[in-house]
Amino acid sequence: FPEMLSNPRLSPVEGTLDVMMNQNVSLSCHVESGSPPVRYTLFKHSQKVSTSNRPDLTPGLFNLTINSASDVGEYKCKAENNITSGGKYSNSLSFTLIEPISKPVLSSLTSQATKGQNVTLSCLSENGSLPITYIFFKGKRSISQPVKMQKREAAMIFLFINSSSDFGTYKCRAENSFRNNTKYSNSFNFTLAEERSHSQPLIISLVLILLLFIIGFALAIPFFIIPSYKASE
């Protein structure tokens, strides 16, 4: 006896909806029950993309190429047979366009530091699909937990310069959902800032006192010379 179709199920053949630009992808539209033959139609939003006719209940396959951001929009499929009026519609699917990350940049507001100083390191990849996960390193040793950034903002780490070993080489690593795409930053080193000699403030103070004494003496001369001159007349 002729049987109406069940609602079809639309799914990616590769099992993932993460795609990159210019990638070829395949979608499968499949009904579990109903009388063949079955005609499958794929839609992007409300626009017809392609049709696949199957003599049995095997899935209809649709091959696509992601050429632009508009190609990741919402997809649905419709299944029809000779007795299903209007057809049955599937779930909807949307691809996520992923972009490889660029080399992150490691920077700080200062490149010089002294022992006992707090400093900040920032790590940012300008390009790449979000979220991006950052990890900071000193040498080959990680010095932070993974920091996942959902926005295009720099990950930051706060350091305390406690000894000469803290002036070593720092790097950061960035990665996202793009397969096999991990990037390391430039190297960054803090340099030891020259500490002022404790004698410098004392010398400056003595010079200022001497200048004030000379200026005061110069201003006081008329008050001593003029009365002396008048007294001698």
Per-residue pLDDT tens for 20-49? 889 999 999 999 999 999 999 999 998 999
Number of domains in the chain: 2
156/183 Cα distance (integer angstroms) = 17
Residue 98: name the closest of 60, 131, 138, 57 by CA. 131
Q: Locate 107 and state its tokens.
A: 């920077």
Are 117 and 178 contained in the same domain? yes
Residue 24 covered by a domain: yes
Are 68 and 12 contained in the same domain? yes
The pTM of this model reads 0.61
What residues make up the domain containing 165?
Answer: 105-192
Last residue in a domain, options 45, 66, 98: 98
Give the pLDDT score at 197: 44
Give the pLDDT score at 85: 78
Per-residue pLDDT tens for 121-164? 999 999 999 999 999 999 999 999 999 999 999 999 999 998 88
Residue 18 belongs to domain with CATH number: 2.60.40.10
Give the pLDDT score at 115: 87
Are 173 and 128 contained in the same domain? yes
Band (pLDDT 50/70/90 cuts) for residue 224 is: low
123/10 Cα distance (integer angstroms) = 40
Are 126 and 187 contained in the same domain? yes
Q: Can you list the pairs that 151-158 forms with residues at least 24 positions away whose Cβ atoms lie under 8 Å?
A: 152/124, 152/126, 153/124, 154/122, 154/123, 154/124, 155/122, 155/123, 155/124, 156/120, 156/121, 156/122, 156/123, 157/120, 157/121, 157/123, 158/118, 158/119, 158/120
